[in-house]
């Protein structure tokens, strides 16, 4: 859409009128999954995104501007200029306005630079303490992808408003919340959360008799083993959350009859961003790298470096949790194998499942729909615990969810 007004004109009008006068209602897009619906992960991701955008919209639309064209000095060069700074019930927000399509490409980098600058006023504040607003039409595909990435993966509090005019008058301006289409959510989710995009490590360690061992009680693990290994899983999940990893952790203990039953294993699986580079942006970079070895290193080194992060987390978790000299050794299996292998899924005790990041959000949304459907449908009742937390930490329930996430295509399956 062509806008016949300069950025300064739109900026002045927006500042004078305020957010409440110009923003329209958030669209009613809530859709609960029904018991007979086929499992589709993108719908869960969309539900969480819509809920988050609606919450942000309901707060910032009643916010108040407190500064305009705020100069933010960094060094002796020309200072950055923040379009608008405001307050709302959840704290502060920064607003970046982009009227011209050519200026969109730098929109998010500028917006977050301003946001980080304001955060610097308050030591200890994080990425969710400042709400980010971009007013632009998102005509460029690369900016649409950037928005979805920051909303879902980086988990920033961010919202985009599109500029709309009912006629050629500036006073007909309205700000409409931007919601990605179903096709965008499908493409984003299918590439993001397939089995092939996950990296997995298994950190195994020797038993400590009386603390965690292979003694069983009626075919089940004894209470002290479950207690102490669950604590290790809890701590590992905290370390993963601290690093912003989207995945899960659980414990594996072989059946007593299996020869290596005197070992326990900590299993960490996380979304490896280097297994699924953006095709559009990747092409632009690869065209500028002439050396084939360097191209290979770009992908292989980054993916293996990510595995190194997971290994360090596992080693730290074991070292911090057990005796000071308790050691572990690490294996690097394919998650596609782990999630489908009979030995891994049926011939071991798997427990203490703890999801993190986006995987936690998607899995909990999946469980929410199950509980909601049980309330609404008197004929179809899925067997679940009265308390949701028991299902969140239930490995078998989570395994059903993980297998449903599936492969990127049928040939891999």
Q: Which residue has the tokens 């294993």?
A: 265
Q: Which residue has the higher pLDDT, 5 or 32?
A: 5
Mean pLDDT score, 72-83: 80
Domain covering 7-183, topology: Trna Endonuclease; Chain: A, domain 1 (3.40.1350)
Measure the CA–CA gap between 353 and 364, rounded to whole angstroms: 13
Decide if pLDDT at 282 tops 70.
no
Decide if pLDDT at 413 tops 50.
no
Q: How many residues are there in the chain? A: 413
Q: Give the per-residue pLDDT at 211.
A: 93
Q: Which residue has the higher pLDDT, 286 or 304?
A: 304
Decide if pLDDT at 339 tops 90.
no
Decide if pLDDT at 90 tops 60.
yes
Q: Give the per-residue pLDDT at 381.
A: 82
Q: Return the bridge partners of 96, or none.
A: 134
Each residue of 390-401: pLDDT tens digit?
999 999 988 888
Mean pLDDT score, 303-320: 92
Mean pLDDT score across all residues of the chain: 85
Each residue of 194-222: pLDDT tens digit?
778 889 999 999 999 889 988 888 888 88
Decide if pLDDT at 192 tops 80.
no
Measure the CA–CA gap between 95 and 175, rounded to whole angstroms: 13
Instruction: In the chain, count H helices and then E strands.
Output: 14, 13
Model confidence at 251, pLDDT cuts 50, 70, 90, reads very high
% of the chain beyond a pLDDT of 90: 40
Domain boundaries, the chain: 7-183, 193-405
CA-angle at 339, arms to 336 and 344, nearest 5°: 120
Mean pLDDT score, 137-162: 84
Q: Give the per-residue pLDDT at 32.
A: 54
Going from the C-alpha of 348 to that of each of 36, 195, 200, 317, 401, the distances in angstroms are 32, 21, 17, 22, 19
Going from the C-alpha of 346 to that of each of 15, 349, 350, 397, the distances in angstroms are 62, 8, 9, 14
Each residue of 41-68: pLDDT tens digit?
888 888 889 999 999 999 999 999 999 9
DSSP letters along 338-368, please? HTT-HHHHHSEEEEEEEEEHHHHHHHHHHHH
pTM value surpassing 0.85:
no
């Amino acid at each position: 859409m062509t806008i016949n007004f300069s950025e300064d004109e739109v900026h002045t009008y927006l500042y004078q009128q305020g957010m409440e006068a110009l923003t329209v209602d958030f669209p009613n897009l809530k859709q609960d999954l029904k018991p007979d619906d086929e499992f589709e992960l993108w719908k869960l991701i969309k539900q969480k995104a819509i809920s988050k955008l609606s919450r942000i919209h309901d707060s910032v639309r009643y916010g108040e501007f407190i500064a305009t064209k705020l100069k933010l000095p960094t060094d002796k060069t020309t200072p950055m200029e923040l379009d608008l700074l405001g307050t709302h019930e959840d704290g502060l927000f920064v607003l970046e306005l982009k009227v011209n399509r050519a200026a969109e490409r730098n929109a998010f980098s500028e917006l977050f630079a301003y946001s980080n600058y304001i955060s610097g006023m308050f030591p200890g504040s994080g990425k969710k303490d400042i709400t980010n607003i971009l007013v632009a039409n998102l005509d460029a595909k690369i900016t649409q992808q950037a928005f979805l990435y920051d909303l879902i993966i980086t988990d920033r509090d961010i919202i985009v408003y599109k500029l709309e005019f009912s006629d050629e008058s500036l006073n007909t301006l309205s700000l409409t919340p931007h919601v990605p289409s179903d096709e965008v959510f499908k493409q984003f989710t299918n590439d993001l959360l397939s089995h092939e995009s996950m990296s997995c490590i298994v950190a195994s360690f020797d038993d400590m008799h009386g603390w965690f061992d292979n003694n069983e009680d009626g075919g089940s693990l004894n209470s002290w083993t479950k207690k102490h290994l669950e604590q290790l899983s809890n701590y590992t999940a905290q370390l993963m959350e601290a690093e912003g990893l989207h995945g899960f952790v659980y414990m594996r203990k072989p059946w007593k009859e299996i020869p290596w039953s005197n070992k326990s294993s900590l299993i960490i699986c996380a979304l490896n961003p280097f297994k699924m580079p953006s095709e559009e942006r990747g092409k632009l970079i690869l065209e500028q790298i002439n050396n084939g070895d360097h191209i290979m290193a770009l992908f292989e080194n980054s993916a293996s470096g990510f595995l190194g992060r997971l290994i360090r987390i596992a080693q730290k978790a074991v070292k911090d949790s057990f005796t000071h000299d308790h050691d572990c050794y690490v294996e690097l299996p394919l998650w596609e194998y782990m999630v489908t292998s009979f030995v891994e899924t049926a011939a071991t005790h798997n427990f203490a499942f703890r999801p993190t990041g986006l995987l936690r959000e998607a899995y909990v949304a999946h469980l929410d729909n199950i509980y909601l459907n049980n309330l609404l449908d008197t004929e179809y009742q899925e067997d679940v615990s009265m308390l949701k937390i028991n299902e969140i930490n239930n490995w078998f329930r989570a395994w059903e969810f993980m297998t449903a996430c599936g492969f990127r295509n049928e040939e891999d399956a």
